[in-house]
Chain A
Amino acid sequence: AQKITQTQPGMFVQEKEAVTLDCTYDTSDQSYGLFWYKQPSSGEMIFLIYQGSYDEQNATEGRYSLNFQKARKSANLVISASQLGDSAMYFCAMPVDSSYKLIFGSGTRLLVRP
């Protein structure tokens, strides 16, 4: 069965600096995807970025990029030039058994300091 691990319960970063949020996973599927979601204090889960296991390049969306290391089974989220509005919970997720159900990691709470 799949498993997602986020080992950083909380992180601080200075505004305008870059930060890396860790995510490791375990799966026996050959083809899979990894998602990152942002959840502000308002509660809504906001999709940030997606990485397919067979994608040749690491995914990038604006200030968000994925440091995908397939052999290590890690998919770390990098946020460049942090902004105060980046303060939120961040969840890593992946499909369960190649289905359309997702499992989530325990999340990392990011606080951006001015």
Chain B
Amino acid sequence: DAMVIQNPRYQVTQFGKPVTLSCSQTLNHNVMYWYQQKSSQAPKLLFHYYDKDFNNEADTPDNFQSRRPNTSFCFLDIRSPGLGDAAMYLCATGRDRTYNEQFFGPGTRLTVL
């Protein structure tokens, strides 16, 4: 089945230690999104790629970076995680600019010690 995969499902890191979260998709979608979701809150968009075009949200901290080496993969890098970065990180894909539906992966739950 075509899907969005996130690895790992659970990630524990230490305060200030860089961490990378991975997302892959077999849907061949042009758009890939990264959301941060804190407990009992709505997902908050961090950035998205349309193909190779990177689009950062205005209020996304510089601590968060992303890479998309090819259509299938997208990475979220947190350069120096703080305690406030502990959250669920959701990756989603979208077919193209004219189609709004997003397909989500299972998420990575990040713990910062």
Contact = CB atoms under 8 A, between A and B. Distances in A.
B109 interface: yes
A35 B100 CA distance: 9
Contacts of B8: none
B100 A102 contact: yes
B88 A43 contact: yes
Contacts of A43: 88, 90, 106-107, 109
Interface residues of B, number: 26
A100 B97 contact: yes
Contacts of A37: 104
A104 B101 contact: no
A45 B92 contact: yes
B41 A47 contact: no
Interface string B41-66: 11101001010000000000000000
A44 B107 contact: yes
Contacts of B101: 35, 47, 50
A91 B97 CA distance: 22
A42 interface: yes
Nearest to A99: B97
Contacts of B106: 42-44
Nearest to B30: A100
Nearest to B31: A100
A93 to B, nearest CB: 8
Which of A42, A95, A102, A105 has the most C-beta atoms of chain B within 10 angstroms of its own C-beta? A102
A35 B33 CA distance: 17
Given A35-B100, A104-B43, 12 more contacts: A35-B101, A42-B106, A43-B88, A43-B107, A45-B43, A45-B92, A95-B100, A100-B31, A100-B98, A100-B100, A102-B100, A106-B41
Interface of B: 31, 33, 40-43, 45, 48, 50, 88, 90, 92, 94, 96-107, 109
5 contacts: A42-B106, A43-B109, A44-B107, A47-B104, A101-B45
